[in-house]
Structure 1
Amino acid sequence: MVQPIDLERMEPAVEPVEEKLHRAVRAAIGALPMIGSPALEFFNSIFEAPLSKRRAEVIRQIGEGLNDLIAQGIVTEAGLQENEAFISTVAEVCNISLRNHQAEKLEALRNAAINSALPGCPSDDYRQIFLHFVDVCTVSHIRLLKLFENPNQWFLDNNRAEPYRTAVSLSQVVEHAMPELTRNREILDTVWADLYQKGFVDVKQMELVLSHESCFSKQTTRFGSKLIAFLS
């Protein structure tokens, strides 16, 4: 019988930067004359429990995903313990997760950790670039990439009506898919320019008018598709 991972004893291999900072601040506050102890108790009451809870939840979710892979016979616990790429990815994911609270980013990080356990996961360079991207990107970056990886499928999955015109622009596609983004046009333009500059999408100008067929075809590059697969 295949033994699942005991989630109670899962710990990241590397202490997150946030916890190092937490210890340093605690030490600095504790060293203050007169006010050290009260201030330290106040600091701990605000940060210690929430950070520990956030890390524990990330570890739990990764562990559940890994147990599914073990149950399917795709990976083994012994193999994971020897998988340096996987261990490094989980450590980095735990680190990044402490700096983020949005559900979509946390889900992407969880998926990245689980996908790093699979045979044929991206190489170290790809993984480090992709994890850094998730760390600094916004949720809008991820949403736009998922939309333009397969626009037709996205509209079907999300039960949205396509703009039925013979010619449309990518911004009009976004307007129908995510109207809240077009209401903050400076954010949309900044995010799209960022995706283009990083080589994740093909089209530079969102206002470029294309045929309906072209606009609803895949707009992500091969590099962008690798990123989406890693986070899915």
Structure 2
Amino acid sequence: MEKINLEAIDSKVEPIDEKLHRIGRVAIGAVPIVGSPLLEIFNSLLEAPLNKRRTETMLAIGAALNDLIDQGVVTEAGLKKNEAFISTVAEVCNISLRNHQAEKLEALRNAVINSALPTCPSDDYRQIFLNFVDVCTVSHIRLLKLFEDPERWFIENNRVKPYQTSVSLSQIIASAMPELIENHEILDSIWSDLYQKGLVEVKQLEMILSADSCLSKQNTKFGSKLVAFLS
């Protein structure tokens, strides 16, 4: 069965970002007197960084897709005809150029894989989810994964959950991700963002609930669809 040629991903054709990089070098070099020093700084700091990031993203996606081809889940011919998949790859490549954090890049890779499957969400969902990943922080994604199934999250991550009879969601976060609770301004902003986007059920992190309630799913159906698309 035909697979994706990973060696061909590192194209010899000059991509648009590299062309812009080259044009930038020419423009800086044309500046009298200061042009040369600026050009050296430009070259030393920005020599093909976007091309490297794009290639790494495509190699990771290609390897994952080859696994699906090996399992008989998809075919190369089918992928070439899958418009949702092609659009997702194009969008993910652009988004990955603006991101460096491993968790966001993994989420983007998973989005491409899920777009290749028959269970891929509709175009509206897919576009909203990709836009969310583009502008969100890693903490947005972490919180959604935590509150998709807090009980399971604590077990899988070998963390001790709070044992009080009544707790708040902020206490759950403090036990799961203490680094987030240290900056309440950031955490409150992220949680408000998740609530306003209709991804979580509870508006206030400090609302006191039973331990069982806090350790049950807090994501909305919409939030669960997003988590599934990025997993």
Q: TM-score if structure 2 supplies the norm length? A: 0.91
Paired position in structure 1 for 2:93: 94
Cα deviation per residue 1:50-107 (whole Å; 9 max; x = unaligned)? Answer: 2222111111100000000100111111111121211111111111111111111111
Q: Does 1:196 align with 2:200?
A: no
1:34-64 CA-to-partner distances (Å, cap 9, x unmatched) read 5445533431332133222211111110000
Are 1:152 and 1:217, in contact at CA under 8 Å, matched by a contact in 2? yes
Match of 1:169?
168
- Cα–Cα, structure 1 residues 92 and 37, in superposed 2: closer, same or farther, change >3 Å? farther
Q: What does residue 215 of structure 1 align with?
A: 214
Aligned to 1:25: 24
1:90-129 Cα offsets, whole Å, 9 max, x none, are 1111111111111111111111111111112012211111
- Specify the SS of the correspondent of 1:218: coil
User: CA 1:181–1:16 in 2, change beyond 3 Å: closer, same or farther?
Assistant: farther
Counterpart contact for 1:16–1:95, Cα < 8 Å: no
Q: Secondary structure at the match of 1:205?
A: coil
Q: CA deviation at 1:191?
A: 0.5
Aligned-residue sequence identity (percent) comes to 72
Pair 79,215 (structure 1): closer, same or farther in 2 beyond 3 Å: same
Q: Indicate the SS of the match to 1:91.
A: helix
After superposition, the CA RMSD in angstroms is: 2.1
The aligned residue for residue 120 of structure 1 is: 119
Query: Are residues 7 and 202 of structure 1, via their aligned partners in 2, closer, same or farther at CA, if it must alter by over 3 Å?
Result: same
What secondary structure, in the 3-state scheme, does the structure 1 residue paired with 2:201 have? coil
Tell me, yes or no, if the aligned pair for 2:18 and 2:51 is still in contact at 8 Å.
no
Instruction: Please give the alpha-carbon distance, in whole angstroms, between the structure 1 residues aligned to 2:121 and 2:19.
Output: 29
In structure 2, runs of 5+ residues without a counterpart are: none
Worse overlay, 50-59 or 70-79:
50-59
Q: 1:190 to 1:21 in 2, by over 3 A?
A: farther
CA drift at 1:17: 8.1
Count of aligned positions = 229
Paired AA for residue 155 in structure 1:
F
TM-score (norm. length: structure 1): 0.91
Query: Once the 2 structures are TM-superposed, how far is the Cα of residue 19 of structure 1 from its aligned partner?
Result: 5.4
**1 CA distance for matches of 2:165 and 2:17?**
51
Does 2:15 align with 1:9? no
Alpha-carbon distance between aligned partners in 1 of 2:224 and 2:174, rounded to the nearest angstrom: 22
